[in-house]
Amino acid sequence: MRVISGANKGLPLKAVPGMNTRPTTDKVKESLFNMIGPYFDGGIAVDLFAGSGNLGIESLSRGIDKCIFIEKDPKAIQTIKENLMKCRLEDSGEIFKADAIRAVKALEKRELKIDLLFVDPPYNKVMYYELVQTLVDKGCMSETAIIVCEHEKNVVLEKSYGDFELVKKEIYGGTVISIYRYLKEEGN
């Protein structure tokens, strides 16, 4: 695993020890960022179920100003810290140790406008995709936001979350990347 592009291109990233996380492969990550970017002009990213911090760190390398990493596993949190330090991105990353439901409630209270949201829960925890709807309903997403969901091939996600509609879906073996963008019709 490594940073694919941007300011930290080529730096290796540490994986979380053990079998509790499923890191996004470099091939899938590169395709994902080619679909949504590939580069950003600032903004706030949230890496829900951050694992090693792989996706959030890639977004920082590609121009996102700040990334909030949400993770509850202590080994994963330590890995995110080490990866941020290795990339000299400690000042751009904020690690929030909490389960996803509690973290989403905290994000609501902060009144942040998220520009890039990564949602990649454990594959057997499909109910966590409902948190996307919660963030949209609570006004936490900017109108230019991109929502990226990584899921198993047999999981069918919603066609839309509020005014964020599914605009692209790519399959990589047993993994699917679903991308949502704000597509409210003019005049509504």
Domains annotated on the chain, with CATH: 26-63+70-182 (3.40.50.150)
Burial code (b: 16+ CB inside 10 Å, e: under 16) for 99-119 equals ebeebbeebeeeebebbbbbb
User: pLDDT tens, 28-81?
Assistant: 888 899 999 889 999 999 999 999 999 999 999 999 999 999 999 999 999 999
Q: Which of 125, 123, 176 is nearest to 148 (CA)?
A: 176
Whether this prediction's pTM lies above 0.85 is answered by yes
CA quadruple 105, 156, 158, 122: dihedral, nearest 10 = 10
pLDDT band for position 185 (cuts 50, 70, 90) = low
Q: How many residues does the chain have?
A: 188
Mean per-residue pLDDT, 71-96:
95
Q: What is the pLDDT of residues 157-180, one digit of tens each?
A: 889 999 999 999 999 888 899 999
Asked if residue 85 lies in contact with residue 59, where contact means CB atoms within 8 angstroms, the answer is: no
Which secondary-structure segment (H or E) carries 69? strand 66-71
pLDDT above 90 covers what percent of the chain?
67
